């Protein structure tokens, strides 16, 4: 059936029209009054097209959603799966929510920049080293090797080597 177009004509008032029980096609297209394609229903996706009918603006499938700006520039995507949800905006900022109940913000170079979880907020530098934690975080005393965990109300700042440079409340 590929390439075939089905036309629908208006039915006069009071006249019963034969309605097929099943309509089958590989693709359905929604067109405007000029005949320009504005949306397509495909086997596994839906596409929404711009006014010219030459560039799709959004593609929705089981894998997610793709948004496209005028001229074809990719504006963002949203994907979802068994392990969580990811939103990408113009390839620069990405948010992901995974099954570990953590919201993660990524930079344009796919490096984690922040985590928000039940334990608090953790900020990373450009090399994905923890630089600040507001909330619960494990700490280890270098001299003794003793491990501790900070309180949910604490703030800890780290230098680029991971050493604590500020902690509140101080113990």
Residues 6 or more apart whose CB falls under 8 angstroms from that of 117 comprise 100, 101, 102, 103
DSSP 47-72: EEE-TTSSSEEEEEETTEEEEE-GGG
pLDDT in tens, 120-143: 899 988 888 899 999 999 898 878
Q: Whole-model pTM? A: 0.54
134 alpha-carbon distance from chain centroid = 25
- Domains of the chain: which residue ranges? 25-81, 92-171
pLDDT in tens, 34-43: 988 888 888 8
Which residue blocks in 87-137 are alpha helix, DSSP H? none
């Amino acid at each position: 059936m590929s390439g075939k177009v089905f036309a629908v004509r208006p039915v006069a008032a009071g006249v019963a029209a034969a309605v097929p029980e099943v309509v089958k096609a590989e693709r359905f297209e929604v067109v405007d009054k000029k005949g320009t394609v504005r949306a397509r229903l495909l086997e596994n996706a839906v596409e929404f097209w711009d006014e010219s009918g030459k560039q799709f603006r959004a593609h929705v499938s089981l894998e997610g959603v793709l948004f496209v700006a005028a001229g074809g520039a990719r504006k963002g995507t949203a994907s979802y799966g068994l392990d969580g949800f990811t939103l990408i905006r113009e390839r620069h900022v990405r948010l992901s929510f995974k099954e570990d109940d953590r919201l993660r913000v990524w930079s344009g170079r796919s490096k984690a920049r922040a985590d928000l979880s039940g334990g608090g907020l953790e900020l990373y530098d450009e090399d994905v080293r923890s630089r600040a934690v507001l909330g619960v975080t494990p700490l280890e005393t270098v001299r003794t090797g003793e491990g501790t965990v900070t309180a949910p109300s604490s703030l800890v700042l780290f230098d680029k080597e991971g050493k604590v440079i500020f902690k509140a409340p101080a113990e």
